[in-house]
């Protein structure tokens, strides 16, 4: 866990998204999305959301679903921090993350998806695709018909002056680097294997969120890294992936935040070209001096 004291540091975020090499060849859009608040990308509280649209035949609007997911996440967390009459301490955030935040995310994502469907009805050809794809990737019946077309996963990080909140539904990765230690703050989900994943398009998706709150006090991590699964899938093994997080942390420790900001998109693009071929989105949050 975090073990690096950085007095006077300011939380900052930099994000980049690479259009997957395979998706480019197939003429498919980038189905990842990211968003953050505040718009300056610095300060505390700082909220960052990263989403990954499924991109399967039945999730043919997942790029829209991912964009809606990150927008909903940032809007909801912003309203919590701006609208709260009391400081959102670690215990309060931990309590909200158990049910209130996941339920609110689930409800608002569906509302906005349904509004998009009303404005852009699914065509007859698209309906035929949905009829053929009546079973979800984990073997359960696909829910709510056309909602599955927007299927996406979602990662959220919110850092305050004294704690960090992590929320996740589906696959993707969150790493925390402090000193020489690299950790995954969120618990695993044994339902995630191969291409199977939980999703915002499932019935009662709020129940599938995993959440954890970490107290930071005066000890801050060197970085938090969020990534869609195309990134970790580009490495030969878990150790190589974790080392990538450590390498970026070392750049930040040595005062090279601008280098990370300038190179992040290229690193994502290279990983896709030489690795998974998938869309790759990276977000790096760090207390920068």
**27-58: per-residue pLDDT in tens?**
889 999 999 999 999 999 999 999 999 988 88
Task: Give the integer Cα–Cα distance in Å for 174 and 165.
Answer: 11
Residue 97 has pLDDT above 80, yes or no: yes
Residue 126 has pLDDT above 80, yes or no: no
Q: Which of 9-23, 77-91, 95-109 has the lowest mean pLDDT?
A: 77-91
Q: How confident is the model at residue 133 (pLDDT cuts 50, 70, 90)?
A: low
Residue 111 has pLDDT above 80, yes or no: yes
Provide the CB-side half-sphere exposure for 270 (13 A, CA).
6
Task: Give the integer Cα–Cα distance in Å for 223 and 3.
Answer: 11
- pLDDT, residue 138, reads 42
Exposed (0-12), middle (13-18) or buried (19+): which is 62, by Cβ within 10 Å?
A: buried
For the stretch 8-17, pLDDT in tens is 689 999 999 9
Kindly report whether the global pTM for this prediction surpasses the value 0.85.
yes
Residue 137 has pLDDT above 50, yes or no: no
Q: How confident is the model at residue 267 (pLDDT cuts 50, 70, 90)?
A: very high
- pLDDT, residue 110, reads 97
Give the residue-averaged pLDDT of 178-191: 85
Residue 79 has pLDDT above 60, yes or no: yes
Structure tokens, 20: 């997957």
Write the DSSP string, the chain: ---B--TT-EEEEEEEEE--HHHHHHTPPP-EEEEEESTTSBSSSEEEEEEEE--STT-TTHHHHHHHHHHHHHHHHHHHHHH-SS---HHHHHHHHHTHHHHHHHHHHHHHHHHHHHHSPPPHHHHHHHHH--B-TTSSBPPTGGGGGG-EEEEEEEE-SSEEEEEEESS-EEEEEETTEEE--SPP-TT-BTTB---TTSTTGGGG-EEEEEE-TT-B-SEEEEE-HHHHTTSSSHHHHHHHHHHHHHHHHTT-HHHHHHHHHHHHHHHHHHTT-S-EEEEEEEEE-
Task: Give the integer Cα–Cα distance in Å for 69 and 113.
Answer: 9
Domains of the chain: 10-288 (3.60.40.10)
The packing angle between helices 100-119 and 90-98, to 10°, is 50
Highest mean pLDDT among 20-29, 38-47, 174-183, 192-201: 38-47
Structure tokens, 105: 């995310």
Is 268 or 194 the better-scoring residue by pLDDT?
268
For the stretch 216-260, pLDDT in tens is 876 789 999 999 999 999 999 999 999 999 999 999 999 999 999
Give the residue-averaged pLDDT of 111-130: 87
Give the residue-averaged pLDDT of 91-102: 96
- pLDDT, residue 237, reads 95
Q: How confident is the model at residue 195 (pLDDT cuts 50, 70, 90)?
A: low
């Amino acid at each position: 866990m975090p073990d690096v004291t950085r007095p006077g540091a300011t939380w900052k975020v930099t994000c980049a998204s690479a259009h997957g090499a395979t998706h480019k060849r197939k003429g498919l859009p980038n189905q990842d999305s990211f968003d953050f608040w505040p718009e300056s990308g610095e300060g505390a509280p700082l909220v960052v959301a990263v989403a990954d649209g499924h991109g399967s035949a039945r999730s043919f609007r997942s790029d829209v679903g991912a964009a809606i997911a990150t927008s909903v996440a940032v809007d909801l967390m912003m309203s919590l921090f701006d609208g709260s009459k009391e400081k959102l301490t670690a215990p309060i955030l931990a309590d909200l993350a158990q049910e209130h935040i996941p339920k609110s995310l689930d409800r608002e994502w569906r509302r906005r998806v349904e509004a998009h469907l009303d404005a852009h009805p699914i065509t007859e050809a698209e309906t035929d695709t949905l009829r053929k794809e009546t079973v979800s990737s984990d073997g359960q019946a696909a829910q709510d018909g056309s909602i599955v077309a927007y299927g996406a996963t979602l990662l959220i990080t919110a850092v305050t002056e004294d704690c960090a909140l992590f929320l996740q539904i589906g696959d993707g990765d969150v790493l925390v680097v402090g000193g020489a230690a690299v950790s995954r703050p969120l618990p695993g989900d044994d339902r995630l294997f191969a291409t199977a994943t939980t999703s915002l398009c499932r019935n009662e998706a709020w129940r599938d969120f995993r959440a954890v709150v970490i107290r930071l006090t005066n000890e801050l991590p060197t970085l938090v890294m969020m990534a869609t699964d195309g990134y970790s899938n580009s490495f030969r093994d878990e150790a190589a992936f974790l080392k990538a997080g450590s390498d970026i942390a070392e750049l930040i420790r040595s005062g090279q935040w601008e280098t990370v900001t300038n190179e992040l998109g290229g690193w994502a693009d290279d990983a896709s070209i030489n690795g998974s071929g998938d869309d790759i989105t990276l977000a790096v949050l760090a207390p920068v001096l």
